[in-house]
Amino acid sequence: MFLLRLVLVCVLFAVAGGLAPPARAAGVILVLSEESSAFSEAAEALAAELRSAGHRPQTLIVPLRADDAAALSGAPLIVTLGTRAAHAVSSLAPRTLVLHTLLPRSAFEKLPGKGDDSRRTSAVFIDQPAARQIELLRIALPEWSRVALVVGRESSELCARLQASARDKRLRPMLETASGESDLYPALQRMLVEPAVLLAVPDASLFNNRTISNILLTAYHHRSPVIGFSPAYVKAGALLALYSTPTQIGQQAGEVARQGLASGSLPPPAAPRHFRISTNPYVARSLGIGLEDASVLRERLERAEGTP
């Protein structure tokens, strides 16, 4: 009887508020630029990382609705996936932690208000660091010294970093400027009179679905291999590509998000930590290039970077 009365007293005490409810996990909001396989893949990896730490991610899709603003303003952390989502959230100027991912560095640099507080805003970029791209070129194609770069509206800073990295490795970078697609092919013709490695850059004004076939055909005609930035380039005829998968980027963004929620501030923007390499052995044979297997190239590049 005494035990029953004790249980009843405990229940009444809890109902009356005498026992504090368990702390609720943070309601992180993921904002996707669109419903696509790449964004969904990255979001799932990111959400899994957050759930493992007890957080409850919620997903929104651009365009945002009027009532989404209230949810965003109350979230301890917002993670955007893609450039459209980054612009949509940045335009609201939220006073909370904001992590942008699956966007190029050039797009992040143009976001409104990103410099207001560097501890509240950060990014995990989609594009590879210049030093990694040049090191891969040196490892995969040691007999090639000429590097061709076409500079567009969205890639001037990236091409400058690639040029500097190439010179550090004692390579010979060549730059041609193209203000649009109409300038692209004359620029390629000038640079590839003598064969060179054409390094494609994530500049949508030049390298896009409309131009990729002609770029690859032009380079192939000049016996020049192309290094792309996605597996699609290798499938279309590039010699190799260096890229990070949506899952790899999503997992890294999740780790950064966990760190931000725990400390109240975000680390500086960063390039993808993990990456993959795809190769096209048919193109290599056609161009007379001895190319190592993709897994071997990745291991060598990881060793060069000191990646565990």
* H, E, C per residue of 147-181: EEEEECCCCHHHHHHHHHHHHHCCCEEEEEECCCH
The pLDDT of residue 69: 83
The pLDDT of residue 117: 64
Which run of H or E residues covers position 42? Answer: helix 37-51
Over range 9-28, report the average pLDDT. 43
The pLDDT of residue 88: 94
Mean pLDDT estimate for the chain: 88
Q: Tell me the helix, strand and coil percentages in the chain, rounded to 5.
A: 45, 15, 40
Give the pair of three-digit tokens for residue 51: 């759930």
Query: Higher pLDDT residue, 19 or 113?
Result: 113
pLDDT digits (tens, 9 = 90+) for 269-280: 999 999 999 999
The pLDDT of residue 4: 38
- The answer to whether the 29-126+247-263 and 130-243+275-305 domains have the same CATH topology is yes
Over range 11-17, report the average pLDDT. 37
Beta-sheet pairing, 276-279 with 240-243:
antiparallel
d(CA 35, CA 62): 9
Domain boundaries of the chain, sorted by first residue:
29-126+247-263, 130-243+275-305
Kindly state which CATH superfamily the domain 130-243+275-305 is placed in: Response regulator (3.40.50.2300)
Query: Would you place residue 115 in the very low, low, confident or very high pLDDT band (cuts 50, 70, 90)?
Result: low
- Tell me the whole-structure pTM to 2 decimals: 0.86
Over range 213-222, report the average pLDDT. 95
Residue 80, SS3 per DSSP: strand
Residue 293, SS3 per DSSP: coil
Query: Would you place residue 308 in the very low, low, confident or very high pLDDT band (cuts 50, 70, 90)?
Result: low
Say how many C-beta atoms besides its own lie within 10 A of residue 176's C-beta.
18
CATH 3.40.630.30 fits 29-126+247-263, yes or no: no
Residue 297, pLDDT above cutoff 60:
yes
Query: Would you place residue 68 in the very low, low, confident or very high pLDDT band (cuts 50, 70, 90)?
Result: confident
Which run of H or E residues covers position 191? Answer: helix 181-191
pLDDT digits (tens, 9 = 90+) for 21-48: 333 444 899 999 999 999 999 999 999 9
Give the pair of three-digit tokens for residue 241: 């590509």
The pLDDT of residue 93: 84
d(CA 81, CA 124): 10
Nearest alpha-carbon partner for 81 in 53, 47, 128, 116: 47
Give the lowest-confidence range in 23-37, 93-107, 213-227.
Answer: 23-37
